[in-house]
Amino acid sequence: MKELVFILSLPRSGSTLLQRILKCSSEVECPAEPWVLIPALNVIEKKYEECSEYNSISSRRAYNDFINYCGKENYINALNIFYTKVVQEEAYDKVYIDKTPRYHVFADLLMEVFPDAKFIILDRNPLAVIASICNSWKSGVFDLSGYEKDLHEGYISLQRFKTKHLGNRNVMSIAYEDIVEDDFDWESVFNFLNIKFDKAYLSKLSYSSFEGKMGDQVGIKKYDRISNGSRDSYVAFFSNIIRQNYLKKYKKFLLQNGVDINFEPKRRFFNGLILKDLFAAIKVFLVKKIGLNLLFRFKNKELR
């Protein structure tokens, strides 16, 4: 293949839009969202909890023994050979793009495994990400269950990766807030990937399709062209005391990690969704409490 490229972003950050535009080029090959490297990377640096019928906790322990036996460097080299050989058949003379948002926590490790790959960091205001997750996947209710890791460890991991590799010719950082504007320099992105840009791509989004069941279908169904309509919609999202209380804590977390977001919502105690937000918060609390108890019991009972 000509290039191996990873798009790193949080969910709901415009990565599907970026993917659709790049896919308009006949020089690009990319499946919807592979995810294939997550378990292989997770045995080196545990980022995600696992649960399976074959006891993935014991499996990971066995993997660690195997890596210690054969050597981490050998494992990393083999992982590079495996993945590049698998995708080589489909992307023989093309740029192969892997757009898997949850690679964000493995950014540094990905670069270690694939030192010759290129990385596009797609950034977005995390407050807008929060609003988009809830509006797109939670029916407008404030419920971030399943996405806390993205918003905390994932976001900070991306910011540190971006700062660390500032000036690296194989790393490009762009922002969602920029790519949805009419004057964004798309040619610079295509030049970064060493492929030709045609302005007609920007009006051909409806022709971009991806095989597979993974991937974010919200934007694909909603938009057939670039739109900045949802860029600032998060401003109205933090409109009751439950959401504003979370916002206060989240901004404090970001500040502790060197990120300062200057946003103060209009102070409102109540809106039409506050009862649904409250029920969602209770449900998440109960699930976490019960889930943690079950996990604790499971970890202390080895399956032989």
CA neighbours closer than 13 Å in the CB half-sphere of residue 128: 18
Q: Which residues make Cβ contacts (< 8 Å) with residue 19, sequence separation at least 6?
A: 7, 30, 97, 99, 208, 210
- How far apart CA 270 and CA 64 sit, in angstroms, is 51
| Least confident segment among 18-32, 126-140, 182-196 | 18-32
**Using 50, 70 and 90 to split pLDDT, how confident is the model at 291?**
low
Identify which has the larger pLDDT, 61 or 166. Answer: 166
Average pLDDT over residues 210-218: 59
Crossing angle of the two packed helices 241-256 and 126-137, in degrees rounded to 10: 140
Phi/psi at 99 (nearest 5 deg)? Answer: -110, 90
Task: Give me the domains of the chain, ranges plus CATH numbers.
Answer: 3-299 (3.40.50.300)
- How far apart CA 23 and CA 257 sit, in angstroms, is 35
- How far apart CA 35 and CA 83 sit, in angstroms, is 12
pLDDT at 247: 96
Average pLDDT over residues 50-60: 64
- How far apart CA 141 and CA 272 sit, in angstroms, is 10
pLDDT in tens, 1-11: 889 999 999 99
| Least confident segment among 17-31, 181-195, 267-281 | 267-281
**Using 50, 70 and 90 to split pLDDT, how confident is the model at 210?**
low
Q: What percent of the chain has pLDDT over 70?
A: 85
Q: In whole angstroms, what separates CA 5 from the centre of its chain?
A: 15
